[in-house]
Structure 1
Amino acid sequence: MQPPSRIKTVGDILESNMRVGCEDIFLQRLAQNGILSRETLFWHPVKPECIHSAKTTTFNIGLDDFYPALMVLGIGIVSSFMMFIIEIYVHFKARLFKKKMEIIPIYPFVK
């Protein structure tokens, strides 16, 4: 006797053997009734036509138009780098101050 995990039902056997045939019959019925073309148009719509052709309208973007964006980017990079350096400096000083306070104990009764 086989273990329960290997037992197959009649539905499993029919499904594995008849799957390809059923799909073919189903697609054939859709094509006969005209539903297949409708579904194809629904799921794959026609690409819309462009109003202005690329051949008739040309435009050039120069550095004068792009310069403000580059300036904002540059200012952002420089300011973030400066903030990074300041954070490193503050962290180093805080760690140095903490280490200094651990080395020299402060007693209130000793001058």
Structure 2
Amino acid sequence: PGTLPADLPPLGPDDVRGPIQPTQVHIPDGLDWASFAVWLSALLHARGEDLVRVKGVVRTPAGRLLLQTVRKVVQSPEILPDQGDARSDNVIVFIGRGYRPEDISRSMQRFLDLPLPLPV
């Protein structure tokens, strides 16, 4: 209380990463989870400063898995109860900047050797 907010400088012309935007990626059934984990880890390692948040619910053989990251930090996966509504299952949202939305899907497709194109 009583503290003034810090003045933030405007983004200069040197910041070419663009605005922060969401990108949805649909995960196909029967995904190889070991390969997916390696891809996501590599993506976060390479682009973790640009990927502000990753979040989704994915159906796995163990049940519905909540997947969450903040920058390069991955939260321990959590198994969720089955709620009967699968509309948001197998969708991961990437929130970040400095990439085109289709780059995320294409990267996953190529790394995991998935058929092209995946719906975005």
Larger-Rg structure? 1
Q: Same fold (TM over 0.5)?
A: no
* TM bucket normalised to smaller: under 0.3
Output the TM-score relative to the length of structure 2: 0.18
Q: Which has the higher helix share?
A: 1
Q: Which has the higher strand share?
A: 2
